[in-house]
Structure 1
Amino acid sequence: MTKPRAYLVTGASNGIGAAIAALLLAQGHTVLNVDLKPPSLPPSGMVCFQAELSDEQQTKEIAARLASEYAIIGLVNNAGATRPGTAESATLDSLDFVCNLHLKASLIFIQAALPAMKEAGFGRIVMLASRAALGKPNRVVYSATKAGMIGMARTLAMELGVHGITVNSVAPGPIATELFMSSNPPGAPTTQAIINSTVCKRLGTPEDVARAAAFFLDEANGFVTGQVMYVCGGTTLGVAPV
C-alpha cells in the first residue's frame, strides 16, 4: 500500500511553524505537526502529534511512527528554544537542551524522512536557524546550535543533491511571535531599539519567514541548495558574508 505524501513541520502549533504550515496547507499538502502541545484549533489538513523533542527517545519514537505511516517528502526543522546565557551564566544543562532540540532532533527527523525522499527522487529540507548564528550577546548556547544547523544543512546539501533533495536554512531576525513579544513588549525601550536596528523599521512577522521557507520548499526550486536566507529586516547587513 502506497503511503500518503506529507510535509512535516516541527513546532507548528504556533508562531513561525504555524505560518509555514498554513502556506503548505493552502497549497493542498498534508502537514504533520509535532509539537509539545497541539494547537487549540488545528486547521483542516494538519495532523498533530505530541512529543518533547528535546527527549531523544520520544523523538525517535515519533519519527519512526511518522515515517511508517507517511512518505515525508518535505521537512521543516522549526521547533526551537532560546535558553539565554552569557559566557559566565550559560549552563551545560542549557547546552544539552538546545543541542538535543536543535541538532539531535533535526538529524533524527532527517534520517527518518530520507528513505521516502530517496525513493521519490525528490525532497525538500529546511532548517530554521537564526541570524544569531552570526553572533549575539547573551545567546551563547543558542547561537552555537543555530550555527550548527546551518553547517548541517550545507553538508547534507552536498550529500543529497544527487537524489533530488535540497537542504537550505532560513535565519530569522526579530520576529513578532508570541514568545518574542512576551520578552519584548510593545512600547518598551528595548523593543524600540530592536525595531530601530532594522533597516525596515519594523519587526518581522511569522508570515515573512514562512514565505522564505516556502521558496525553499517549492518543488520548482531544485537548483537552490545549501543556502541561507536571512529574514531579518536588514540587521545582518555588514555582518553576513556576500
Structure 2
Amino acid sequence: MRRVLITGASKGIGRAVADRLADAGHQPIGLARTAPPDFPGPFYPVDLADRAATAAALEQIVTDGAVDAVVNNAGFARFGTIGEIDLDDLYSTYDLNVRAAVQVVQAVLQGMRAAGWGRIVIVSSLTTLGTPERTPYAAAKAALETCTRIWAKELASTGITVNAVAPGPTETEMYRERSPVGSEREGRLLQNIPMGRVGAPREIAHAICSLLDEDAGYITGQIVRVDGGGSVSG
C-alpha cells in the first residue's frame, strides 16, 4: 500500500484520483480547504494560499507517516486579456499553483529520498499551448511544466519520478463556471476537440494514477496531454 498526498482533493480531478487509489488498495491523503464527509482516507483541511498553515499541515502529514507519492492538483484561475489582468490576481494565481506545489514537494522529498522511491505528478493544463484570456493561469501551469522537467532531471538517480498531466476541458466546477452546458463558449471549445466532448474527472485520474504505478519507474520528465485529441487537432 502506498500513501499518496493529493492537493485539491475534495472534488473534481483530485477526488477522482483519491477514489481510484482507494479502490486499488492505496491510502489517499487529502489536502484542501474543506474536508468532504466521505473522503476515503485521512484529510487535512487547509487553505494552500496560507503558507504558514500549509507548512503546519505538511509537518503533521509527514509526522503521521511517510508519503510515497504526491499529486499536485490544487489550482486557482483568474481570467482576462492582457489589457484586463489584475496584477494581484497574477501573483495569487502563481502563488497557489506554483509556490504551493514547491512547498508540498519540499516537505515530502526527504522521506522519498530515504526510501529510494517516489512519484510526483503535477496537474497542468492545455492552456499552456496558448488559450486567450488565460495569461495568469496558463503562465503558472507553464511554470509547473518547466519544474516537472527540471525536477525529473534532478531526481532521476534517486528512484523518484516527476511527470505532469495536462488535461483539456474537463467536467469540473472550474470548467462549468466559465462554460455552462450548451453555451456558445462551450460550443466553440467542442469544435476544437476531435472527440466532440469534454473529459470526465475519472479519465484524467486514470492517466495520473498510471504515472503513480510501480511499473512507471522509467517514465519521468513527461507532459502527458489528456484532451480528446485537442492538442493535435488541425
The structure carrying a bigger helix percent of its residues is 2
Residue in structure 2 matching 1:155, options 136, 150, 159 = 150
From 214, 219, 225, the counterpart of 2:220? 225
SS in 1 for 2:214: coil
Where does 1:9-88 land on structure 2 (aligned, <5 Å)? Answer: 9-43=6-40, 46-88=41-83
**The one of 200, 206, 209 aligned to 2:204:** 209
Contact preservation (8 Å) 1:34, 1:48:
yes
Q: Cα RMSD over matched residues? A: 1.4
- In the alignment, structure 2 segments of 5+ residues that lack a partner are none
- State the identity as a percent: 36
In the alignment, does 2:102 pair up with 1:102? no
Of 168, 176, 179, the match for 2:174: 179
Is 1:129 aligned with 2:160? no
Structure 1's unaligned 5+ residue stretches are none
8 Å Cα contact 1:176-1:206 kept in structure 2: yes
TM-superposition CA deviations, 1:38-94 (whole Å, max 9, x none) = 113223xx1111111112112212112212222011000000011112211111211
Distance in 2 (CA, whole Å) between partners of 1:48 and 1:209 is: 21
The offset of 1:192, in angstroms, is 2.0
1:137-181 CA-partner distances (Å, limit 9, x unpaired):
101111100000000011000011111000000001100112312
Q: CA deviation at 1:5?
A: 5.3
Task: Answer yes or no: is the 8 Å Cα contact 2:123–2:164 preserved in 1.
Answer: yes
**Structure 2 length as normaliser, TM-score?**
0.96
TM-score by length of structure 1 reads 0.93
Bigger mean CA deviation after superposition, 58-67 or 221-230: 58-67
Secondary structure of residue in 2 paired with 1:31: strand
Pairs aligned (count):
234
Structure 2 equivalent of residue 138 of structure 1: 133
Shifted more, 60-69 versus 230-239: the winner is: 230-239
